[in-house]
Amino acid sequence: MLLIEISGKNGLGKTHGVELAPKELLKGSSYSFYKKINPNNGDIEEQENQILEQSKDLMTKKPFFIGGDHSISYPLVKNFIKTHKNAGIVVLDAHPDLMPPMENPTHEEWLAAVIELGFNPKNILLIGARNIDPEEEKHSVNKIKISELNNCQEKLNTFLKDKQIYLSMDIDFFDSSIASATGYPEKDGATESQGLTLIKQIIQNGNVCAADLVEVNPTKQNPEKTIALAKKIINLVLKENK
DSSP letters for 67-81: -SSGGGHHHHHHHHH
Query: What pLDDT band is residue 28 in, cutting at 50, 70 and 90?
Result: confident
The pLDDT of residue 40 is 80
The pLDDT of residue 88 is 98
Query: What pLDDT band is residue 241 in, cutting at 50, 70 and 90?
Result: confident
Mean pLDDT in residue range 140-147: 96
- Cα 73 to the chain's mean position, in Å? 7
Contacts of 10 (CB under 8 A, 6+ apart): 44, 47, 48, 69, 71, 72, 104, 105, 106, 107
The predicted model scores a pTM of 0.96
The pLDDT of residue 77 is 98
What is the CATH T-level fold of the domain 2-240, as seen in this structure? Arginase; Chain A (3.40.800)
Q: How many CB atoms lie within 10 A of CB 193?
A: 10
Cα(30)–Cα(21) distance, rounded to whole angstroms?
Answer: 17
- Residue 12 confidence (pLDDT) above 80: no
| Under 8 Å between Cβ of 98 and 111 | yes
Instruction: Tell whether omega for the bond before 128 is within 30 degrees of 0, i.e. cis.
Output: no
- What is the 8-class DSSP label of residue 176? T
Query: What pLDDT band is residue 112 in, cutting at 50, 70 and 90?
Result: very high
